[in-house]
Amino acid sequence: MQKNYKMILGYDGSRYSGWEHKTGRDTIQGKLVQVLGHLTDEPVHIIGAGRTDAGVHAKGMVANVVLDTELSDMELKDYVNHYLPEDIVVYEMTEVPERFHARYNAIGKTYQYRIYDGRQKPLFDRKYVWTTEKKTDVERMREGATYLQGTHDFAAFCKNPQKKKSTVRTVDRIEIERDNDYVTLTFHGDGFLYHMVRIMTGTLVQVGLGRMEPSQIAKALATGERTLAGVTAPSQGLTLVQIDYPAR
């Protein structure tokens, strides 16, 4: 009997060409299709809550997949973890109602971006941070973040906006915390455009380095001019942390 499974996943995105399956490339979705494909003769369709770019990590990606299997939830999870490579982990795999759709039902997402601005080169976490040349001023970054919070047209904070699709999004929370030489930016919103978290981060870092005025963010939002926003922060500092769904 066909059953619908919700999966919560973590992955180290360093060596992957992102979430979405591409022929001839290593992708997270591709690895999952490969492993789950051993359980069934039918084609396996995995629906992710969203797509993460090449090099982006995850601690709480959500996906769903319809499978016809006799295995219990626990056996299924153990099976998948056993055959997945060591840089992809399935934390939860549970049967859910047929109507559950990881993308359509998602109502919120949390991303974290980690910056390292210490004097020494980072070592053991060098693949999970963006190292800036100078110290960043967290107070200035927080000031810049106040402009980004709320409901705006984020066209200036998006790569290749599509004319027919809305670029309005709501970012209801941006937290910026320093822990010694590490600065973590946490973004929560109803959804994010292509490269949006990385462009918001790159912009806030330029503000934090004193290379851009916080108020320029308001101008970028108002005009939709990509060139008024900052650089795109590299993918390796970014982690998808959580996807929210309505309480049942």
Contact 185, 115 (CB under 8 A): yes
The b-or-e profile of 140-166 (16+ CB within 10 A means b, else e) is: bbbbbbebbeeebbbbbbbeebeeeee
Among 5, 12, 16, 106, binds a copy of itself (CB under 8 A): 12
**Active-site option among 12, 41, 53, 153:** 53
- Stretch of residues binding a copy of itself (CB under 8 A), selected from 6-14, 152-160, 183-191, 193-201: 6-14
Among 20, 26, 87, 213, binds a copy of itself (CB under 8 A): 87
Q: Does 81 bind a copy of itself (CB under 8 A)?
A: yes
Q: What is the dihedral of CA 217, 218, 219, 224, to 10 degrees?
A: 80
| Residue (81 or 149) nearer to a copy of itself, CB | 81
Residue 120 beta carbon to a copy of itself: minimum distance, rounded to whole angstroms = 6
Measured in whole angstroms, the distance separating CA 147 from the mean position of its chain's CA atoms is 21
Contact 195, 180 (CB under 8 A): no
Q: Does 128 bind a copy of itself (CB under 8 A)?
A: yes
Q: Does 89 bind a copy of itself (CB under 8 A)?
A: yes
Distance (Å, rounded) from C-alpha 6 to C-alpha 4? 7
Q: Does 242 bind a copy of itself (CB under 8 A)?
A: no
Contact 156, 223 (CB under 8 A): yes
**Does 53 qualify as catalytic in the annotation?**
yes
* Residue 83: φ, ψ to 5°: -95, -15
Distance (Å, rounded) from C-alpha 35 to C-alpha 84? 7
Question: What's the maximum distance between 2 C-alpha atoms anywhere in the chain?
Answer: 60
Q: Does 53 bind a copy of itself (CB under 8 A)?
A: no
Residue 43 beta carbon to a copy of itself: minimum distance, rounded to whole angstroms = 27
Q: Does 179 bind a copy of itself (CB under 8 A)?
A: no
Residue 71: what residue type?
Answer: L
- Stretch of residues binding a copy of itself (CB under 8 A), selected from 27-35, 87-95, 181-189, 240-248: 87-95
Distance (Å, rounded) from C-alpha 35 to C-alpha 49? 19
Among 25, 38, 45, 126, binds a copy of itself (CB under 8 A): 126
Among 91, 162, 215, 225, binds a copy of itself (CB under 8 A): 91
| Residue (180 or 227) nearer to a copy of itself, CB | 180
SS3 212: coil
Interface with a copy of itself by CB under 8 A: which residues?
10-12, 57, 59, 81, 86-87, 89, 91, 120-121, 123-126, 128
Task: State the catalytic residues.
Answer: 53
